[in-house]
Amino acid sequence: MHYQAVPLPDVIVNYPDGSMVIIDSKVSLNAYVEYMNSESAEERLALAKKHVESVSKHVDELKLKDYASYISEGRRKVDYNIMFIPMEGAFRLMLDRAPMLWQRSKDAKVLIVSQQNLMIVLNMILMSWRQHDQEKNIAE
């Protein structure tokens, strides 16, 4: 018998209304740490590129994962996989070196978030669901 490994999400956020959001934070930060420790401008440029490639590769992997399948039927879920980069500097470097990567990721249904904007994104999701519920109640 052959078993296939099932990707497990890192975090499942449970909202009080039963809605759920899944967050993945398996981003490799090795190139970023090396970038920060490097003293050579040439080496920093190469490591910044390597960091962006690492983030991009993770986006490509994450867009194929069906994390929404972890959420049971009848519960609300987000159509996006949320990719958390736990170091603000690593997130900023990615944006500085590849400003279109965030948009490309969003188009692939992967939202890249950092420490600074994770709570904002989670609150925006909750607010949009509440607004949807209010509009639905008004229409009914």
Determine the pLDDT at residue 6: 56
Interval 4-16: pLDDT, tens: 555 677 888 887 7
Determine the pLDDT at residue 60: 93
Determine the pLDDT at residue 96: 96
Tokens matching residue 116? 């600074």
Determine the pLDDT at residue 33: 95
Residue 70, phi-psi category: left (phi > 0), alpha (psi -120 to 50), beta (remainder): alpha
Interval 55-114: pLDDT, tens: 999 999 988 887 777 777 777 777 788 899 999 999 999 999 999 999 999 999 999 999
Determine the pLDDT at residue 1: 52
Determine the pLDDT at residue 47: 97
**Can you tell me which residue has the tokens 């400003």?**
99
Determine the pLDDT at residue 4: 53
Interval 16-47: pLDDT, tens: 777 788 888 877 899 999 999 999 999 999 99
* The pLDDT of residue 122 is above 70: yes
d(Cα 122, Cα 104) in Å, to the nearest integer? Answer: 20
Q: Residue 72 CB: number of other CB atoms within 10 A?
A: 9
Beta strand pairing call for 20-24 and 11-14: antiparallel
Determine the pLDDT at residue 2: 53
d(Cα 6, Cα 2) in Å, to the nearest integer? Answer: 13
